[in-house]
Amino acid sequence: MGSKAKDSPAGYLRSPLTRSEIEQLRRSLLDWYHQQGRDLPWRQTQDPYAIWISEIMLQQTQVQTVIPYYQRWLKAFPTVFDLAKAEQQQVLKLWQGLGYYARARNLHRAASKIVQDWGGQFPTQYEQAIALPGIGRTTAGGILSAAFNQPQPILDGNVKRVLARLVALPLPLKRAESQLWQISEQVLAPDQARDFNQAIMDLGATVCTPKAPSCLLCPWLTLCHAHQLNLQSTLPMREAAVPLPHKQIGVAVIWNQQGQILIDRRRQEGLLGGLWEFPGGKIEPGETVPDCIAREIREELGIEIEVGDRLITLDHTYTHFKVTLNVHHCRHLQGEPQPLECDEVRWVSLSELDDFPFPKANERIIAALRQR
C-alpha cells in the first residue's frame, strides 16, 4: 500500500493500489486458484447457457444448495430452446425451494428473448447481456468472463467483502459501490478474467469468509490492508441494523364437500409472483384471526366460508420483513370462487398439491395437512 493511502482514508477510495501491487495480487491469486480452486460443475463448461443458469442460481443462494438444482435444471432444460418453450409452472416447480422466484420468471422470459432476438445464442456484448431480464452488472460480468474470458469485473457479496478488506475500506459496503467496482476493475487480470473472477469468488467463499477469515492461508496476506491493521474481523463496516417489520397474516385452508382444497395463483408482478398459495391476508389492527380470514376470502375470492380450527401457526422471514402465518381450516359455504386479486383459483385434492409450485412457508402448511 502506498503511504499516501495510509495517511488519508479517502485516499484508499481514489487510488488504493499501485501497479506493482496489482501485478502481485493477480499473480498470487491465480497461483492459489490453480492449486486450491473449487471444482464446481459450472466450471467444467464454457456453454454460456449453463453458466448463465449457474450465475442466476448463485445470486442469493449458497453453492452447496445450488449444485443439485443446477444439475436437475440442465436435465430438464438442456438448452435455451427447451427453457423458452417450457410452461412457467414447470419452471417455477423446478425452482421450488430456491427462493427469490423472480429469478426463475426472469430466466424464462430471458430465454424467450434470446431465442427470438439472438437465434438462441447468448449475446456476447455486455450491453446486450445486461438488457436481458434478471441480469445486472455483476451477473453480466460473471457470465461474459466465465463463458468468453472477457475482461468484465464482478462484484457479488463475496467479492465486495474481500475487496473492502484488501483496501481497509472506511465505509459500509452500500456507500462505496462505485469505488468497489473501480477496485474490482483495477485488480482483474484482463487476459485471465475467467480464472481471476472465479478465484476471487473462491477466496471470499473459502478463506476471506464473513466471520474469522483464515488470513494465514490467504494469497493476499502480505498486501491486505485489513490484515496489516488487524481489522479483518471488523471489516467490512456495518450499517446500523434496522429491525424487520413483522406482519401477522390470516391464512385459510378452505375445504369443499368433495374434500378438495382451494388454492390460488399469485399475480405475476410482486413477491412470489406466479406461485400458488393458500389464500389469506394481513390482519388489521383490532381484528381477530377468524375475522381477518373471513374478510380476506370475501374480498379476494368473493365467497363465504366458516372459519374453523387452527391448523398451524408458523413464522417465516423474507429479506425485508417477517410474517407469522395463522392458518385455519375453513369450510366453503357459498359462492363460486373468483380470482379477484390473483391470477387463477383451483379446487385440488391433497395429493394434487405436489403438482403446483408453492412458496417455502406454504410447504410447511402442506406438511401439517398431511400429518392430520
> Would you name the residues annotated as active-site residues?
55
Q: Which is nearer to ligand SF4, 57 or 162 (CB)?
A: 162
Instruction: Find the shortest distance in angstroms from Cβ 316 to ligand SF4.
Output: 33
* H-run or E-run covering 264: strand 261-265
Q: Which of 344, 352, 355, 356 is nearest to 266 (CA)?
A: 344
| All three cell numbers of 339 | 380470482
Which positions touch ligand SF4 (CB under 6 A)?
Answer: 162, 165-166, 207-208, 213, 215, 218, 220-221, 224, 226-227, 232
Q: Which is nearer to ligand SF4, 147 or 218 (CB)?
A: 218
Return the exposure string of 314-341: e unless at least 16 CB atoms fall within 10 Å of the residue's CB, then b: beeebeeeebebbbbbbebeeeebeeee
DSSP string, 352-369: GGGGS---HHHHHHHHHH
Q: Which is nearer to ligand SF4, 212 or 242 (CB)?
A: 212
Backbone angles phi, psi at 149, to 5 degrees: 55, 30
Instruction: Find the shortest distance in angstroms from Cβ 169 to ligand SF4.
Output: 11
Provide, for the chain, the percentages of residues in helix, strand and coil under a 3-state DSSP scheme, each rounded to the nearest 5. 50, 15, 35
Measured distance CA(234)–CA(273) in Å, rounded: 38
Q: Which is nearer to ligand SF4, 92 or 207 (CB)?
A: 207
CB distance 257 to 270 below 8 Å: no
Q: Which is nearer to ligand SF4, 216 or 242 (CB)?
A: 216
